[in-house]
Amino acid sequence: MSEKNRCLDEGLSRLFSGGVPQAEPVRFQKGELIYWEGREPDRCYYIAQGRAALGANGLEGRHAVFCILPAPAFFGELELLSVQPVASEVTAFTDCFGYCFHTEEIRLCLR
């Protein structure tokens, strides 16, 4: 196991007392849409390398970028608290590598 994976495992073990949720490695190319408005909140992401842009579409259809998330960063975690559709979108600002966590599995580990 690599040092990065060992550190991630140890950190997640401290966070989740009911067991550690399975992390699925993911890669996104620059410009690729990762998380989008209206989507069902079924997963959250941890970006280990790269940067992602957090934004949303305005009432007039214009896209606004709120911030650039540099690694390390989590997003989609607020959707763990609610079953509302996603209200923003995240796009890979650079090539990104990270992990995807399915929210149902996380909820089970948090119990």
CA dihedral over 54, 45, 5, 13, signed as positive or negative: positive
Contacts of 32 (CB under 8 A, 6+ apart): 91, 92
48-85 per-position pLDDT tens digit:
999 999 888 777 777 778 889 888 888 877 766 666 66
- Are the beta carbons of 56 and 37 closer than 8 angstroms? yes
Check if the beta carbon of residue 99 is closer than 8 Å to that of residue 23. yes
Is the pTM higher than 0.85?
no
